[in-house]
Amino acid sequence: MNSTPTIAEWLVSYGNQAFEVVGVLAFALSGLIEAARKKLDLVGMAMVTALAAFGGGTLRDLLLNRRPFFWVENEFWLWAILGLCALALFFMRARHIELTERATQWPDALGLGIFAAGGTQIALDANMSPLIAVLMGVITAVFGGVLRDVVVNEIPRAFNDHQPYAVVAFAGGWVVVAANALNWSSFLAVGIGSLAIVSVRLAAMIFGWRLPTWRV
């Protein structure tokens, strides 16, 4: 059916795009900062930034056999990444920019929530079971960062920093599953799931929650 969208539909579509913008920018920033910390060149910066921003969603789409990819459909984002790297050229010359790991954690928490909740919803819409959907959400949110770290030759931070990161995304995915089971709209499900994940992640950062660790 091809009708003009109602105001509600328009708002939802607009809201979904706002989610997207924040999530992609947050992860792109984490990639850019990592690339700068490793003193990669222009190409490395563009690639690592793109991997961090699109890697998780692309892997999810490969696994779900979804096409076109997010960044093929919304080509704008590729120009944005290229523009970001052109901009970064100027910053390259600046001294004394402190690129601390902590600085990337704030936008990263936002990206985590949006990507995990959104990825879970997409997998549910593709008729995946709840567990698979939640794991696809985790993959969407975490594997951009994993690929970013693997490519710059580090053990993925998500795998060994003992912080609640992927587990928060995992738990929050079940919120999205529950909202779908209650027949809430996907917009609401993603919104509430994202909110839950971001809140818990921020709390974990602020209060310094840790996963159980190895006895030394």
Query: Which residues bind to its own copies, rule: CB under 8 A?
Result: 35, 38-44, 47-48, 58, 62-63, 65, 67, 69, 72, 75, 78-79, 89, 92-95, 128-129, 131-132, 135, 146, 150-156, 158-163, 165-167, 211-215
Contacts 24+ apart (CB under 8 A), 38-42: 38/152, 40/152, 42/85, 42/89
Smaller CB distance to its own copies: residue 9 or 73? Answer: 73
**Interatomic CA distance for residues 122 and 128, integer angstroms:** 9
Q: Least separation, in Å, of the C-beta of 90 and its own copies?
A: 10
Q: Least separation, in Å, of the C-beta of 119 and its own copies?
A: 15
Q: Least separation, in Å, of the C-beta of 56 and its own copies?
A: 13
CB 46 within 8 A of CB 128: no
Q: Tokens representing 45?
A: 């910066």
Smaller CB distance to its own copies: residue 30 or 58? Answer: 58
Q: Least separation, in Å, of the C-beta of 216 and its own copies?
A: 9
DSSP 65: T
In the block, tokens 């599953």 appear at: 177
CA distances from 108 to 39, 52, 136, 178, 198 (A): 21, 11, 18, 25, 9
